[in-house]
Amino acid sequence: MGGRKDGSPSSSIDSSSHPALSTASSLSQPRRDLSTDLRLGLSLSTSSLQDGSSSARDDWPPIKPLLRSTLTEKGHQIQRQSATFFVKVYMEGIPIGRKLDLFALDGYDGLIKTLRRMFRASIMRPDIAQMPTNKDHVLTYEDKEGDWMMVGDVPWEYDFLPPLLILLPSILNSICH
């Protein structure tokens, strides 16, 4: 406990006035002076605990070693990591696609808005009833079973979208709500 050495009570009270040497019962007379010294002695140690500039103590706060090591390791990593997930989006008929980071978007709203801007196309949404026109597109993906599905039905949080999305002209489907 090297950090505590300065704060230990024996350094702030010399042995001649040490409470333990008093022969009278220590309970009968409150020793105000000494208790101030005691408090000082202790506060030195507590202030050494608060010293943020020194290296972290391994005995305070009282947490177990596994948690302590997990937090000190991961604490450094959290700042650096910001996860990204880039998907490619193609519009049918156009060979050059676009890329966007799904993690940077705020739900399906953000996705549709961004794609509208990127492709200058109007994109249908499954939750909004609208009559498909010539200009509308529908955003689709191929799921695990090989079926082509419209984006927007599964909750956004489920984060299941594959890395490839295709914008198809909606006239090709007969989706009616």
Partner 1 sequence: MTYFPEEVVEHIFDFLSSHRDHNAVSTVCKAWYRVERLSRRSVFVGNCYAVRPERVVARFPGVRSLSVKGKPHFADFNLVPDDWGGFALPWIEAFARGSPGLEELRLKRMVVSDECLELLARFFPNFKVLVLISCEGFSTDGLAAIATHCRVLRELDLQENEVEDRGPRWLSCFPDSCTSLVSLNFACLKGEVNAGALERLVARCPNIRTLRLNCAVSVDSLSKILACAPHLVDLGTGSFTIDHPAEAYHRLINNFTKYKSLKSLSGFWDASPRCLPAVYPICGNLTGLNLSYAPAIQGADLIKLIRLCLKLQRLWVLDCIGDKGLAVVASTCKELQELRVFPSDVCGAGTAAVTEEGLVAISSGCPKLNSLLYFCHQMTNAALVTVAKNCPYFTRFRLCILDPGKPDPVTNQPLDEGFGAIVQSCKDLRRLSLSGLLTDQVFLYIGMYAERLEMLSIAFAGDSDKGMVYVLNGCKNLRKLEIRDSPFGDAALLEDVGKYETMRSLWMSSCYVTLKGCKTLAAKMPRLNVEVINERDESNEMEENPSDLRIVEKMYVYRTVAGPRNDAPDFVWML
Q: Which residues bind partner 1 (CB under 8 A)?
A: 1, 4, 8-10, 15, 18-22, 25-27, 30-31, 35, 38-39, 41-43, 45-46, 49-50, 52, 56, 58-68, 70-72, 74-75, 77-78, 81, 83, 85, 103, 144, 155, 157-163
For partner 1, the closer of residues 103 and 171 by Cβ is 103
For partner 1, the closer of residues 92 and 143 by Cβ is 143
Which tokens sit at 92?
């049918």
Burial class of residue 5 (count of CB atoms within 10 Å of its CB; 0-12, 13-18, 19+) = exposed
Q: How far is the CB of 12 from partner 1 (least distance, A)?
A: 11
For partner 1, the closer of residues 41 and 169 by Cβ is 41
At 124, which amino acid appears? M
For partner 1, the closer of residues 21 and 128 by Cβ is 21
Q: How far is the CB of 2 from partner 1 (least distance, A)?
A: 10
Q: How far is the CB of 176 from partner 1 (least distance, A)?
A: 29
Query: Which residues have C-beta within 8 Å of that of residue 134, sequence separation ≥ 6?
Result: 169, 171
Closest alpha carbon to 108 in 126, 131, 88, 90: 126
Is 168:137 a contact under the CB 8 Å cutoff?
yes
What is the rounded distance in angstroms from the CA atom of residue 98 to the CA atom of residue 87?
A: 8
Q: How far is the CB of 162 from partner 1 (least distance, A)?
A: 5
